[in-house]
């Protein structure tokens, strides 16, 4: 038998056309055959020839099989073929084939074929999902798939080393994302357009290009990781130089240079240009690129400024503050202004609004004619001044902005945001929310890569939370979060405020989801305060005394690390109620005094005052401090004329005091709770009605209020009031009624009878009766045995 076989794989052919040929030869091995098998490298030509060789040998047929025929000169091939009488099969990479030959072309494998290859290599049935994933990564090229399965992509190293230089550079360019730019490729390879097709054809013949001339992921990894490093570095750098010279994007190319140690002027310019491209959408990548530009030798103020901005947007405020502070001594005025603005932004996120305002104001007066990215500095300074109680100073800045500021979309929206905050402390502030929502919408298209001390969405949401417009708060925050407004830095703030909106509305599960989304992250002072008090508020509303005590210390410490300001009154109010519940109210009295002093300097603005006083009212109720409670009611009543929300809180406050005094009208309570429910304050509405229900001796009034409480909480009773519960059947938990299961779960969680009753809007005595019935149904001899039995039953996977 006359054969010439090289590089034969031990695997059986998996390509459908190859299997069909084998079946034909097996059935009739003596049939005359003059066949050319054509495919790029790695498509299974050698595997097919090896299988044909075995088939012909077993049949005793003399056949001529020639692999890699493209490597032979025409006269060499002709000499081999001369005198051959039996079947002839030659395999070669793509090239024209004489009409005298039958042509068999092998293309990429399908998903099912890849699955068969996986089974052949591993000896195990292939998982369909894994086969689909390998097909996507390999592009269906058998050699790529096989080497991935065997963990031998490094076998490409010698093959890449041996490639023609032009072909290798083309593959490197394709891996770097430049494979479709013909002008760029011609310049890179120093070849005219007429000579480029030959290089592309040679690259295709390697089997590393897919049918669309792109590199499948595995081929790209092979070129990137196992190609000659020096050749790759010089090729990519040359591509970058060409792109820069033509003013074209360089992000994808420069990204591939990260970590290569590339340096020098061209590399630094590439990294800096790429960082500027990445900044609007990927601050973390921009940070790496700016840092690489600096390491490559570019220490210009533009790179330092971009680096500082990118680190801040990605949440690395320590680095941003270090870089910004270092820029304050730069001889260039614009650089100094940028450094001041960056430092001001960091300080705002860390709760230092007074210092932030000072630096923003200095930046606006330092920057030449208010130019550059810091045109909104005066507006941000004004917001910070209002936040610290200096309304007059804020108004002066808004009335006399820095000269020469271009009327850009960003500058106009920043000013509108500042005016909205300034208006929020004037009178009833009826236009504040509209102004802030308008600023948020106006800034959305202009915010890419912009560093903000706070977003218009966050400020609008705070105003909405303080005025009972919860749906508006949720909407503007969701848009900001989905749009990536303010980068990673403000994503946490938007998420936490969404948690606050959900908690205020009584949707504790959603609030917990938002809390959990940022749990474990390192938070700046402002975000830490909102996170800790959100956790505190969730524990309080769930009657989780253990969780409340556990969360208290973190929340208290967070409040002590931040200066009291206008935009932190919601957490302070929640902290006040928790402090009253945990016996630590004296600890926060100083913070409350500073908050009221700030509000007094601003003229007791209703928008910001009412919610804090509402929280203080409940703290006073918890402390049984009647005088303070009456004083808070008087304050709420004073502001009741400013809209539906303050009016509803004032009415509810009067109802609370009447309930605690034991003299109240159920209809008035129901109406007040219904008004709060309509404002979205479901938890507060349910609690008011529920507490009234367990304090009345009138059976009819109790049923009315309990029904209202259940409806407000979103869990309407499943039985008509007054009807008896159906008789229980079965054993274990199946013997318990639905209400008994609710009671059992709460008691097992550690709640007292009174606490469980408060949560279910029933009296503690009723809870005790339920527990007695549960004990009888389960046959427990005492309370200890009952609790042990319930814990065991409720921990089972099949527990209802």
- Give me the pLDDT at residue 646, please: 95
Proportion of the chain in helix, strand, coil states, percent, rounded to 5: 70, 0, 30
- Give me the pLDDT at residue 720, please: 36
Domain 3-105 top-level CATH class? alpha beta
Residue 317 phi, psi dihedral angles, 5° rounding? -75, -25
- Give me the pLDDT at residue 579, please: 95
Rg, Å, the chain Cα set: 37
- Give me the pLDDT at residue 445, please: 67
Count Cβ neighbours within 10 Å for each residue of 540-566 and write b for 16 or more, e otherwise: bbbbbbeebbebbebbbebbeebbbbb
- Give me the pLDDT at residue 536, please: 95
- Give me the pLDDT at residue 781, please: 66
DSSP 225-244: HHS-HHHHHHHHHHHHHHHH
What single-letter DSSP state applies at residue 454? Answer: S
DSSP alpha helix (H) spans, 40-164: 45-59, 74-81, 111-122, 128-138, 142-150, 156-161
Task: Take residue 567 and report the two structure tokens written for it.
Answer: 């935009």
The domain 734-794 having CATH identifier 1.10.10.10: the answer here is yes
**3-4 and 88-92 as β-strands: parallel, antiparallel, unpaired?**
unpaired
What span, in angstroms and rounded, lies between the C-alpha atoms of 34 and 64? 10
What span, in angstroms and rounded, lies between the C-alpha atoms of 159 and 422? 69
What span, in angstroms and rounded, lies between the C-alpha atoms of 142 and 136? 12
What span, in angstroms and rounded, lies between the C-alpha atoms of 261 and 292? 9
Q: What is the 3-state secondary structure (H, E, C) of 133-187?
A: HHHHHHCCCHHHHHHHHHCCHHHHHHHHHCCCHHHHHHHHHHHCCCCCCHHHHHH
- Calculate helix-pair angle for 229-245, 165-175, nearest 10 degrees: 60
Domain map (residue ranges) of the chain: 3-105, 111-151, 154-332, 338-556, 734-794
> What sign results for the dihedral spanned by CA atoms 149, 151, 155, 161?
positive
Q: Quote the pTM value.
A: 0.72
Spatial contact of 457 and 451, defined as CB atoms under 8 Å apart: no
Given a cut of 50, the residues of the chain with pLDDT beneath it are 1-10, 370-373, 715-730
Spatial contact of 333 and 368, defined as CB atoms under 8 Å apart: yes
- State which fold the 338-556 domain adopts: 1.25.40
The residues, any chain, with a CB within 8 Å of residue 189's CB and separated by 6 or more, are: 166, 169, 170, 196, 199
- Give me the pLDDT at residue 718, please: 34
Q: Which strands, in side-by-side order, build the sheet including 3-4?
A: 3-4, 64-66, 88-92, 34-38, 102-105
- Give me the pLDDT at residue 797, please: 61
- Give me the pLDDT at residue 6, please: 39
- Give me the pLDDT at residue 3, please: 45
The residues, any chain, with a CB within 8 Å of residue 581's CB and separated by 6 or more, are: 540, 545, 548, 622
């Amino acid at each position: 038998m006359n054969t010439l076989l090289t590089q034969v794989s031990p695997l059986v052919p998996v390509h459908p056309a190859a299997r069909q040929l084998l079946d034909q030869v097996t059935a009739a091995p003596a049939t005359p055959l003059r066949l050319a098998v054509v495919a790029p490298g790695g498509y299974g030509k050698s595997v097919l020839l090896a299988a044909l060789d075995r088939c012909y040998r077993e049949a005793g047929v003399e056949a001529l099989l020639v692999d890699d025929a493209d490597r032979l000169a025409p006269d060499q091939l002709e000499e081999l073929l001369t005198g051959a009488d039996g079947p002839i099969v030659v395999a070669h990479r793509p090239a024209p084939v004489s009409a005298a030959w039958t042509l068999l072309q092998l293309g990429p494998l399908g998903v099912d074929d890849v699955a068969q290859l996986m089974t052949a290599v591993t000896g195990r049935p292939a998982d369909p999902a894994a086969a689909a994933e390998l097909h996507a990564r390999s592009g269906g090229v058998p050699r790529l798939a096989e080497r991935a399965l065997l963990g031998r992509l490094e076998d490409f190293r010698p093959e890449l080393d041996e490639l023609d230089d032009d072909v290798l550079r083309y593959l490197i360019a394709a891996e770097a994302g430049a494979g479709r730019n013909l002008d760029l490729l011609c310049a890179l390879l120093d070849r005219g357009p007429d000579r480029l097709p030959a290089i592309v054809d040679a690259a295709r013949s390697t089997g590393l290009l897919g049918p669309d001339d792109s590199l499948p992921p595995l081929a790209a990894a092979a070129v990137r990781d196992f190609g000659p490093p020096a050749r790759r570095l010089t090729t990519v750098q040359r591509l970058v130089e060409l792109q820069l010279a033509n003013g074209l994007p360089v992000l994808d190319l420069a990204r591939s240079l990260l970590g290569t140690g590339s340096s020098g002027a061209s590399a630094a310019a590439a990294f800096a240009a790429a960082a500027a491209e990445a900044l609007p959408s990927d601050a973390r990548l921009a940070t790496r690129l700016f840092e690489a530009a600096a390491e490559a030798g570019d220490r210009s103020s533009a790179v330092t400024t971009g680096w500082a901005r990118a680190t801040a947007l990605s949440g690395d405020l320590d680095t941003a503050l270090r870089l910004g502070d270092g820029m304050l001594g730069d001889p260039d005025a614009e650089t100094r202004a940028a450094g001041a603005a960056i430092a001001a932004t960091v300080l705002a996120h860390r709760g230092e609004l007074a210092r932030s305002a000072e630096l923003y104001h200095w930046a606006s007066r330092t920057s030449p004619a208010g130019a550059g990215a810091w045109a909104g500095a005066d507006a941000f300074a004004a917001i910070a001044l209002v936040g610290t109680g200096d309304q007059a100073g804020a108004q002066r800045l808004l009335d006399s902005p820095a000269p020469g500021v271009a009327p850009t979309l960003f500058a106009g929206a920043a000013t509108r945001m500042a005016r909205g905050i300034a208006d929020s402390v004037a009178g009833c502030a009826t236009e504040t929310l509209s102004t802030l929502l308008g600023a948020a919408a106006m800034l959305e298209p202009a915010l890419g890569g912009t560093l903000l001390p706070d977003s218009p969405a966050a400020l609008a949401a705070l105003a909405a939370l303080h005025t009972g417009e919860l749906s508006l708060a949720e909407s503007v925050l969701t848009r900001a979060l989905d749009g990536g407004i303010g980068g990673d830095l403000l994503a946490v703030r938007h998420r936490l405020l969404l948690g606050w909106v959900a908690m205020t509305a009584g949707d504790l599960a959603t609030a917990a989801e938002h809390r959990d989304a940022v749990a474990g992250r390192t938070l700046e002072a402002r975000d830490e305060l909102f996170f800790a008090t959100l956790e505190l508020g969730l524990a309080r509303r769930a009657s989780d005394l253990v969780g409340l005590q556990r969360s208290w210390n973190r929340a208290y410490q967070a409040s002590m690390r931040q200066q009291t300001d206008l935009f932190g009154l919601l957490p302070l109010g929640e902290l006040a109620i928790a402090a009253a519940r945990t016996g630590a109210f004296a600890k926060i009295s100083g913070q409350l005094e500073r908050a009221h002093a700030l509000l007094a300097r601003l003229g007791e603005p209703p928008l910001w005052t009412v919610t804090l006083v509402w929280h203080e009212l409940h703290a006073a109720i918890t402390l049984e401090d009647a005088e303070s409670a009456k004083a808070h009611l008087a304050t709420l009543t004073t502001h009741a004329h400013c809209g539906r929300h303050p009016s509803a809180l004032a009415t509810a406050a009067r109802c609370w005091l009447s309930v605690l005094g034991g003299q109240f009208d159920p209809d008035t309570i129901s109406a007040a709770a219904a008004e709060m429910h309509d404002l979205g304050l479901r938890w507060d509405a349910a609690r008011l009605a529920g507490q009234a229900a367990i304090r009345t001796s009138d059976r009819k009034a109790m049923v009315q209020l309990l029904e209202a409480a259940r409806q407000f909480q979103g869990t309407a009773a499943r039985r008509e009031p007054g009807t008896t519960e159906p008789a229980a059947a079965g054993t274990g938990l199946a013997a318990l009624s639905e209400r008994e299961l609710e009671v059992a779960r709460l008691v097992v969680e550690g709640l007292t009878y009174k606490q469980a009753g408060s949560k279910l809007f029933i009296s503690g005595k009723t809870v005790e009766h339920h527990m007695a019935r549960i004990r009888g149904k389960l046959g427990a001899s005492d309370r200890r045995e009952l609790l042990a039995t319930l814990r065991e039953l409720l921990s089972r996977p099949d527990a209802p």
